[in-house]
Structure 1
Amino acid sequence: MKTLKTLLLLFQVVSAVKHSMRFYFTLCSGLPNLPEFTIVADFEEVRMGYYDSSMKAPEARHDWLRKLMEEDPEHWERIVLDSMRYQQLLQGETEGFKQNSSQTAGVHITQQVLGCEWDEESDRVDGWKQYGYNGEDFITFNLQTETWIAANPRAEATKQEWDRNGANNGFWKSFLTNVCPTWMKMYLKYADMFLQRTAPPSVSLLQKTPSSPVSCHATGFYPDRASMFWRKDGEEIHEDVDHGEILPNHDGTFQMSVDLNISSVKPENWSMYDCVFQISGVKKDVITKLDKAEIRTNWGKTGRTVERNVSHTIISVVVALVSLGVVIAVVGFTVYKKKKAKNPPPDSDKSFELSEKLNPEP
């Protein structure tokens, strides 16, 4: 099993000749507690920038992007202006969605994912521009035909209208196949050292209550090509084990957890268990023994009280979710789900349920 995991990690490294950049846009109307307009920019699956309508300008999230800002201020000024203008563009498109789908009242959420992918080995370029509206697939740009694909009947009128605008469609094909890849290649020069780095995790054992599973939690690691599992007597186990997803932290690193149900484990057998963390590019595993004295809790006097640590973890997750909130319904995009099957985006249930409740079917 360990050999298989090592081979999989090696395959991911070898296959890393594909580079990607994605911009996530969200426009909300009728939701006073959320920014009206938000942009999240990801480069190589890592958050590089953020902007919302309450800010004066986009915010760089990494040193390499700040360096680019200093050395190429004209490019950054263009990014700033485009961010401001895109809000007006998305507002106009949303008004069209409302009219064409006969949904003019209530809360409305429009999401868009825009991006490109470049295969460094074959020099092949691909791009995408997709919309979601009120938690549903809406319309997708066909890069080859320079036409639009309606994801549901409500988007048919928009498709007919946009298909007639050949100049606009030609602009987006050029942007996705020329401008976007050019930016991405320039960013690679600045981000190369950052993307090749390896950061080890901080690993803790956490437990909510005496009867809860023990969670082996790793945070602060990079890259996300990592795995974590529980062992008993040196052998990986699957029974009574629950694997969590790899989640982003606000600083560009990642976190993950794997839980072990200890209800059937006798206290004298705890020493037989350990948690193993493995990351691509590092030969030595991080091994954490199952030790009651090392378990951090927020209950009673048994174990170590870690309200500060738990709070820090919660804050990291909340910040990450706020940044990712702009794409909470993007997972509904059919084409995008196919392209991102190997790296699933955040969950969209809450956004969809909100739209469904506030905008019932006529």
Structure 2
Amino acid sequence: DRVTFGLKCSFSSTVTHSLLYFDTSSTQVPNFPQFVSVAYVNGLQITHYDSNTKREMPKQEWMKKITDEDHEYWDRNTQIALNTEQASKGNTETAKQRLNLTDGLHMWQRMSGCEWDDETNEINGYFQYAFDGEDFIALDLKTETFVAPRPEAVVTKHRWERIGEAVRQKDYITHECVDYLKKYLRNGESVLMRKAPLVSFLQKSPSSPVTCHATGFYPDRAMLFWTKDGEELYEGVDYWEILPNHDGTFQKSADLDLTSVPHQDWERYECVFQLSGVPDKNYRLERTKDHTNTYIGIALGALGLLAVAGVVTFFIMRRRGEKNNV
């Protein structure tokens, strides 16, 4: 089974940017590297390292140009990844011993990074570990302490607080991490700038739900929902998760069951798309018929083609800098 960190993001009218690193060290996972490390800016993957290639590599064309101002960037970060790989292997063994576990399939994960609001200048950040899919230890940025949800992590909490690790991590999050985030945003501005979607209504048959589909938007901090007479609907609606497209943009769908709604009332329904930093868009449902006699609602705007993204991302992450042993 795949084990991932779950990140809960709330939509806001302000614009929040993120730089997040994910590391995963695993044992006895078939056809998967023992260690993988990736970085994301605003949900777009920018780097990749694994224990097979032993090299940190760019995942975006604009990331290749970073050596124009930092000639040692890829060599330096490859060495950081190599050191983190070794530390993660040791931490996996330590966690197994503390939890009295035998050899087998195990996974040690780390997530770290920062979020920066470019309107309020507010900074938030993450530095947390999980073992076999359960939280192990995490930094509380406000109190500069560590939270240990498992008794086996308490010894790590006390040791890290004693040596000032919480203060170092906070300093990294609020300074170096944010500085790099701003640099990446400048270098990748043409890709990372906010993009409005193409929205279309689709219905397979008269008895099928009407799907409002938005695709090609960026970043992924977006909401898509149905309204009736301006009021948001919850019953008879299926809301689907945001999915990535192959070009780094995103897509989202929402299905509305109209089987019991008279055709003349369809215009009371609207699909609303909200994207951070972009004015809200309302698309009213109209009933038309195409040459195949399949009923289709046409959005008041450009029709977008469905982009089916078969992307499965295995998240893993790390902080740039010194190793952390548990």
For the aligned pair, the TM-score class normalised by the smaller chain equals: 0.7 to 0.9
**Displacement of 1:135:** 1.6
Task: Assess if the C-alpha contact under 8 Å between 1:97 and 1:158 holds in 2.
Answer: no
1:152 corresponds, among 127, 150, 166, to: 150
8 Å CA contact 2:199, 2:212 repeated in 1: no
SS of corresponding position for 1:326: coil
Q: 1:186 aligns with which of 173, 183, 186?
A: 183
- Counterpart AA for 1:198: K
Alignment of 1:156-305 (within 5 A): 156-163=154-161, 166=163, 172-205=169-202, 207=204, 211-230=207-226, 235-236=230-231, 238=233, 239-266=235-262, 275-279=271-275, 280-282=277-279, 285=282, 289-291=286-288, 293=290
Of 133, 136, 147, 1:135 maps to 133
CA contact (8 A) 2:54 2:82 kept: no
| 1:205 shift after superposition | 1.5
Q: CA deviation at 1:49?
A: 2.9
- State the partner residue of 1:43: 41
What is the alpha-carbon distance in structure 2 between the residues aligned to residue 148 and residue 195 of structure 1? 33
Of residues 99-108 and 115-124 in structure 1, the stretch that sits farther from structure 2 once superposed is 115-124
Please say which of residues 177-186 and 143-152 is displaced more in the overlay: 143-152
The one-letter code sitting in structure 1 at the alignment partner of 2:104 is G
Moved more, 245-254 or 212-221: 245-254
Matches within 5 A, 1:59-98: 59-98=57-96
- Asked if structure 2 preserves the Cα contact closer than 8 Å seen for 1:277 and 1:287, the reply is no
State the partner residue of 1:22. Answer: 20
C-alpha offsets along residues 260-315 of structure 1, whole Å, 9 cap, x if unaligned? 113313567657655444544357655564546499xxxxx9689xxxx87x51xx
- Deviation of the 1:98 alpha carbon: 1.0
Q: CA–CA distance in 1 between the matches of 2:122 and 2:278?
A: 27
CA distance in 1, matches of 2:269, 2:120: 46
- The one-letter code sitting in structure 2 at the alignment partner of 1:81 is Q
CA contact (8 A) 1:64 1:191 kept: yes
Residue by residue over 1:2-32, the C-alpha shift from the partner in whole angstroms, topping out at 9 and shown as x without a partner, is xxxxxx99x61xx33x543211111221221
Q: 1:327 to 1:83 in 2, by over 3 A?
A: closer
Post-superposition CA distance 1:134-162 (Å, at most 9, x none): 12111123557766432111223433554
Pairing 1:326–2:315 present: yes
CA distance in 1, matches of 2:115, 2:268: 46
Aligned to 1:334: none
Task: Kindly indicate whether the alpha-carbon contact (under 8 Å) linking 1:276 and 1:288 is maintained by their aligned counterparts in 2.
Answer: no
TM-aligned CA deviation for residue 130 of structure 1? 0.6
Q: CA deviation at 1:212?
A: 4.4
- Structure (1/2) with the larger helix percentage: 1
Instruction: Give distance in 1, aligned partners of 2:24 and 2:56.
Output: 15
Question: How far has the Cα of 1:259 moved from its partner?
Answer: 0.8
Count of equivalent residues? 298
98, 101, 106: which one pairs with 1:100?
98
Cα distance between partner residues in 1 of 2:57 and 2:21:
14
Structure-1-length-normalised TM-score: 0.66
- Structure 1 gap segments, 5+ residues each: 1-7, 296-300, 329-362
CA contact (8 A) 2:127 2:139 kept: yes
**RMSD between aligned alpha carbons?**
3.9
Structure 2 alignment gaps of length 5 or more: 1-9, 297-304, 318-326
Secondary structure of 2:188's counterpart equals: helix
- 2:55 corresponds in structure 1 to 57
Secondary structure, counterpart of 1:73 in structure 2: coil
Contact 1:100–1:157 at 8 Å: present in 2 too? no
C-alpha contact (below 8 Å) 2:236/2:257 kept by paired residues: yes
Looking at both structures, which has the greater relative contact order when contacts are Cα pairs under 8 Å and sequence separation is at least 6?
2
Deviates more, 1:254-263 or 1:210-219: 210-219
TM normalised by structure 2 equals 0.72
